Amino acid sequence: MKKMTLKEIAQVFNVSISTVSKAINDSHEISYGLKTKIQQYAKENKYRPNKLALNLRQKKTKTIGVVVPNILNYFFTQVFSGIEKVANEKGYNLLSCISDESYEKEVKTLEFLGGGTVDGIIVSMAEETQFKSKMDHFQNLLDEHIPLVMFDRVSDDVLCDKVVVDDYEAGYRTAKYFLNLGCTTLAVVSAIDQSSVGRLRVDGYKKALSEADIPFDDRLILRLGKKDDLELLMSLLLNYKQIDGIMALDEITAVEVLRIVKARGYKVQEDISVIGFTNGKLSRYVTPSLTAVSQHGTYLGETAANTLIERMEGRTGKDFSTRIIKTSLVVRDSTKKL
């Protein structure tokens, strides 16, 4: 039972290929009798039009390319899941690629996707790309008029639709929340200082401090490199000043911070409040459960997919949009009660 083609069906009925094509597509041009016979035959023999031929003919694939830096990160998984949901509803498929935070892989991937394989692309930049600030590969896509939506890790140098988390605002409001709680010596632990996202959060934090007339102290910002020892840096930090609030910019780091703080004998909540970014499963189940900034990854993904699909289907003007997803704070047990 090999794949069957229009040609074969045509031979069976001794008609032309185009007749069969029309019959199968239920064209009114074909007589009722012949049409039903052909349709029935097609169904019985499980005829399926060859997608490759259709793609070539119609110059579209009904496929969206998705490039994420790392799928093992729950936030990106959530976004992916949101994209999938919308894409599926609207009849699109997902060609998924992982850049592994590598610039080179990202370039190759986008080059590939630009080759006609997909109708549009959704991407969040690799860390290395953000670091290098090289955006040519995105520009190439734009030059070829391939619809592109960037999310979360975006660049001002690329003119396309974007969906971002309001990281500045999130940093600001998180710091504010600490201040309202009565915390005054606020540290930040960032494992993502390379990225715009991380820096925006710190900027928001600075603004909150300045509004409260608290001088900014850079030594309270712990910037964690790939090979750094968090344990060690944390103990330096904790010895430096009597810290009563820590904001950790990703979930794993937040959980680690929690562990270290506990291990060093501090009482989380009473002595030190901790808030993490990214509200994933860990935050909920860790002890004490972690107050966290939710970035609504799934919703973000849905928004990105909708934006792209609208663009692909020409239902948007020529101006690019930047949609901003509001964060929200999920209060749990790692912060003082109000």
Partner DNA sequence: ATGAAAGCGCTAACAT
Partner DNA sequence: ATGTTAGCGCTTTCAT
Helix/strand/coil for 223: strand
Please give the distance of CA 5 from its chain centroid, rounded to a whole number: 40
Q: How many residues at the interface with DNA, by CB under 7 A?
A: 29
Other residues' Cβ atoms within 10 Å of the Cβ of residue 20: 27
Asked if 41 contacts 12 with a C-beta cutoff of 8 angstroms, the reply is yes
For residue 318, state whether it binds a second copy (rule: CB under 8 A).
no
Q: Which amino acid is at 6?
A: L
- For the bound state, the minimum distance from the C-beta of residue 161 to a second copy, rounded and expressed in Å, comes to 19
Asked if 176 contacts 214 with a C-beta cutoff of 8 angstroms, the reply is no
Asked if 273 contacts 289 with a C-beta cutoff of 8 angstroms, the reply is no
For residue 287, state whether it binds a second copy (rule: CB under 8 A).
yes
For residue 263, state whether it binds a second copy (rule: CB under 8 A).
no
Q: Which does 184 bind (CB under 5 to 8 A by kind): DNA, a second copy, none?
A: none
CA–CA gap between residue 256 and residue 254 (Å, rounded): 5
- For the bound state, the minimum distance from the C-beta of residue 314 to DNA, rounded and expressed in Å, comes to 17
Asked if 288 contacts 268 with a C-beta cutoff of 8 angstroms, the reply is yes
For residue 17, state whether it binds DNA (rule: CB under 7 A).
yes
For residue 145, state whether it binds DNA (rule: CB under 7 A).
no
CA–CA gap between residue 15 and residue 193 (Å, rounded): 67
Asked if 283 contacts 330 with a C-beta cutoff of 8 angstroms, the reply is yes
Which range of residues in 111-119, 124-132, 188-196, 312-320 is near a second copy by CB under 8 A? 111-119
Q: Which does 95 bind (CB under 5 to 8 A by kind): a second copy, DNA, none?
A: a second copy
Among 40, 45, 53, 232, binds DNA (CB under 7 A): 53
Which range of residues in 12-20, 139-147, 170-178, 325-333 is near a second copy by CB under 8 A? 139-147
Among 11, 43, 53, 104, binds a second copy (CB under 8 A): 53
One-character DSSP codes across 276-295: EES--HHHHHSSSPPEEEE-
Would residue 7 be called left, alpha or beta, if left means φ above 0 and alpha means ψ between -120 and 50 degrees? alpha
- For the bound state, the minimum distance from the C-beta of residue 14 to DNA, rounded and expressed in Å, comes to 7
Preceding peptide of 215 cis, ω within 30°: no
Please say which residue, 91 or 317, places its beta carbon nearer to DNA: 91
For residue 5, state whether it binds DNA (rule: CB under 7 A).
yes
Among 11, 88, 242, 322, binds a second copy (CB under 8 A): 88
Other residues' Cβ atoms within 10 Å of the Cβ of residue 222: 23
For residue 111, state whether it binds DNA (rule: CB under 7 A).
no
For residue 25, state whether it binds a second copy (rule: CB under 8 A).
no
Q: Which residues bind a second copy (CB under 8 A)?
A: 1-3, 46, 48-53, 55-56, 59, 61, 63, 71-72, 77-78, 80-81, 84, 88, 93-98, 105, 111-112, 114-117, 140, 143-145, 252, 255, 259, 281-282, 285-287
